[in-house]
């Protein structure tokens, strides 16, 4: 049975189910037992499962990532949370040189079942050092599975699958998604790691997106439909490994591709999507693929600059129209609210 619940509640359900059913699972992270509980995703879990399994940690990201790795090698299944990917950069050595490599370097004798959660994305004027979406950094490293749930259903289903996986998984959760509501089944529900999801079928143009940009892609598809354009929207769900089969199948149907990315344009997830389609379905393309992503400069803090920085649905619409040889729509006026917040109801995380 499904109910409509927000993304953060779906995450909390997934974590609670794993804590309940597997004594090897424990949570660790700065602020995990905090009353605010990482945007509500861990609220109340320390009261239910105790401080031994829902642990706070000091601001010592590198050391604590090593603790998580050691416990995974000893048979535990840690879920380590970093409040921002920006802070997790202090632990890159542990994640890239250790977590991703142990299973391979030692002949598969020890699995490394770790889920590392990282919150990404813009918002609330936090600027260049607190709004980065570095999915492609981790997707570039062999040995790491990288997921980016965009909906409440996938937040629960992908998190459950990630905790049950014997491989290390990095989960990127966009801060603008935490209050998004959607249908989520009760009880255990899983989504396969490594498979993209066609969330809207169409025949005229393929829009491939990940994380929060899936929501913008769906808005763009609705706007395109008003103009007679039938867009197909694909949610990558897993950024690495990339589901190239689903991408090529869609482009062979539509002949056109727009890749929408929450990160920067150059060397990003969108660039990899375009490369994969060019390699696998070049003969089907009827126009040059296009990327919609952030410009290659650090993200701004001020509302005035944010209004010209963050891509939204209109940028995807314009890219799709260009693919089809259609003239651009008339220029839009200023946005009704700052592009540093998801909508007028957003008042900040605290």
Tell me which residues are annotated as active site.
61, 130
CA distance 340 to 307: 8
- Residue 197, H or E segment: strand 197-200
Measuring CA to CA, how many Å separate 101 from each of 61, 72, 96, 98?
19, 13, 7, 5
For helices 7-21 and 152-164, the axis angle rounded to 10 degrees is: 30
Give the residue carrying structure tokens 């891509």.
Answer: 311
Give the residue carrying structure tokens 């929207």.
Answer: 233
CA distance 95 to 328: 44
Give the residue carrying structure tokens 């790491």.
Answer: 144
CA distance 38 to 33: 9
CA distance 261 to 70: 34
CA distance 235 to 231: 13
Tokens (6 digits) for 229: 């354009």
- Residue 279 CB coordination number (10 Å): 10
Torsion, CA 102, CA 103, CA 104, CA 108, rounded to 10? 140
Who contacts 21 (Cβ-Cβ below 8 Å, separation ≥6)? none
User: Residue 80, class by beta-carbon neighbours within 10 Å (0-12 exposed, 13-18 middle, 19+ buried)?
Assistant: buried
């Amino acid at each position: 049975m499904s109910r409509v619940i927000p993304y953060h509640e779906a995450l909390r359900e997934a974590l609670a189910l794993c804590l309940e059913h597997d004594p090897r699972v424990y949570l660790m992270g700065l602020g995990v037992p905090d009353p605010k509980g990482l945007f509500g995703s861990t609220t109340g879990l320390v009261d239910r499962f105790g401080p031994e399994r829902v642990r706070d940690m000091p601001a010592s990201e590198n050391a604590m990532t090593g603790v998580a790795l050691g416990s995974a090698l000893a048979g535990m299944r840690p879920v380590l949370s970093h409040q921002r990917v920006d802070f997790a950069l202090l632990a890159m050595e542990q994640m890239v040189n250790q977590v991703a490599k142990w299973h391979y370097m030692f002949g598969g004798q020890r699995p490394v079942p770790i889920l590392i959660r990282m919150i990404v994305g813009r918002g609330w004027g936090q600027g260049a050092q607190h709004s980065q979406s570095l999915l492609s950094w981790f997707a570039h490293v062999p040995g790491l599975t990288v997921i980016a749930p965009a909906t409440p259903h996938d937040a629960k289903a992908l998190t459950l699958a990630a905790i049950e996986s014997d491989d290390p998984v990095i989960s990127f959760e966009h801060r603008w998604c935490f209050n998004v509501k959607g249908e989520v089944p009760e009880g255990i529900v899983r989504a396969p790691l490594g498979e993209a999801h066609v969330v809207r079928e169409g025949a005229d143009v393929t829009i491939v997106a990940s994380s929060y940009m899936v929501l913008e892609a769906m808005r763009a598809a609705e706007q395109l439909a008003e103009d007679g354009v039938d867009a197909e929207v694909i949610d990558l769900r897993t950024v690495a490994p990339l589901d190239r089969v689903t991408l090529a199948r869609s482009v062979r149907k539509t002949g056109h591709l727009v890749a929408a990315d929450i990160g920067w344009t150059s060397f990003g997830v969108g660039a990899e999507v375009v490369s994969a389609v060019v390699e696998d379905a070049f003969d089907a393309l009827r126009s040059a693929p296009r990327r919609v992503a952030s410009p290659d400069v650090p993200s701004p803090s001020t509302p005035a600059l944010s209004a010209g920085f963050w891509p939204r649905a209109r940028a995807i619409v314009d890219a799709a129209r260009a693919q089809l040889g259609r003239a651009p729509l008339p220029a839009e006026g200023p946005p009704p609210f700052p592009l540093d917040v998801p909508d007028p109801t957003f008042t900040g995380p605290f």
